[in-house]
Amino acid sequence: MQLPVILIALLSALLFGAATPISKNLLSQLSSFQLAGLLYIGAAIGVIFIVVRDGKFILPWRMDRKNAIRLLGAVIFGGMLGPLALLAGLRLANASSVSMWLNLEMVATAILGHFIFKDHLTRTGWIAAGGIFLSAVILTSGEGSAGILAGVLVTLACICWGIDNHLTALIDGITPAQSTFWKGLVAGTTNLIIGISIAPLIGSMGAVFGGLVLGVFAYGFSIVLYITAAQHLGATRSQLIFSSAPFWGILLSILLLGEKFTWQLAVAIILFVVSLVLLMREQHQHHHIHEEIVHEHPHRHDDGHHDHHDMDVPDGWHSHPHQHDFLKHAHPHLPDLHHRHSHTKE
């Protein structure tokens, strides 16, 4: 019964992976600002039906100050700066190399989490992050001098998306689809306006429409499909399948753009796969404290932290305001919304 859901997760990865080689073609007619704007406006269009389906639409200015600031940060780093840096790097390097460099988002997310966002990283996690970084360095060596600058730009993009990942994960009271909608609408519109004010929009209507459609599918529908898969398979299994996105990007770069499969790319893929397996197995256990809190976010009742229903427990994922009582315990865990903490002293 899980096969259809696995196919949904694979389709999500395929759509996201396709963004890099197709964007490479679109950049011949559109500036980085213009394409970034179109992609994220498309993303907003792509998720709007799931936002409407959720029923409870939350306006950012009605959120509490802390969560509104987090959403604003996600818009700036994830919706504006990240795609601009990525597209600037994509102009300089092969789409297949950029597809692999995007794996640095995992490294950036892990390191930022360890030092800033109370997301503990074990020795295994550091080894995995090092392997992914080494694979990026190997690819840079195969791209020449332009590859160094391109690698730096894509790394900056991954750092921006790493910050975005943590900020989005900490937002209470708004669904992933809604955060994607606001990120796409605000950041996409802003980048497009800046792009048109800097240089005229000389791209054909086909290129403009192509940018929007690519955004709808690669950044909008892809996210919707990923959320659907995660709700049935769990976040870890879904992320493992979604991690195939760079490989779809490489395959399409070779088929659509005629790029060569180099030995650097082969070595980088092997290193990445090994590092990914290590990173996905990484979790830790220690005594930690959950403070008393009332908040709202998508959750289910089989994770040991959401037992607030006395009867008629809903099946699957749902969202409503709920209370967590003070709790101190130890169990193997990953850094989700309820595990952003330091070790407690015995």
pLDDT single digits (tens) 3-21: 688 889 899 999 999 999 9
d(CA 168, CA 245): 21
Q: Sorting pLDDT into bands at 50, 70 and 90, what band is 304?
A: low
pLDDT number for residue 313: 61
Does 317 have pLDDT greater than 50? yes
d(C-alpha 177, C-alpha 166), whole Å: 16
- State mean pLDDT over 191-205: 94
Q: Is the pLDDT of residue 286 over 70?
A: no
Residue 26 host element (H or E): helix 3-26
Closest alpha carbon to 184 in 159, 212, 209, 204: 212
- Report the relative pairing of strands 321-324 and 327-330 from DSSP bridges: unpaired
d(CA 342, CA 120): 8
Question: How many Cα atoms sit within 13 Å of 19 on the Cβ side?
Answer: 35
pTM, rounded to two decimals: 0.78
**Model pLDDT for residues 241-267, shown as the tens digit of each residue:** 888 888 999 999 999 999 999 898 999
Fill in the amino acid letter for 115: F
Length of the chain: 346
| % of the chain at pLDDT higher than 70 | 77
Read out DSSP for 247-267?
HHHHHHHHHHH-----HHHHH
Distance CA 26, CA 41 (A): 16
Across the range 71-77, mean pLDDT stands at: 96
Separation CA 165–CA 43 (nearest Å): 16
What is the C-alpha separation between 242 and 12, in angstroms, rounded? Answer: 7
Confidence bin at 343 (pLDDT 50/70/90): very low
Looking at every residue in the chain, the average pLDDT score rounds to 82
Amino acid at 162: G
pLDDT of residue 87: 97
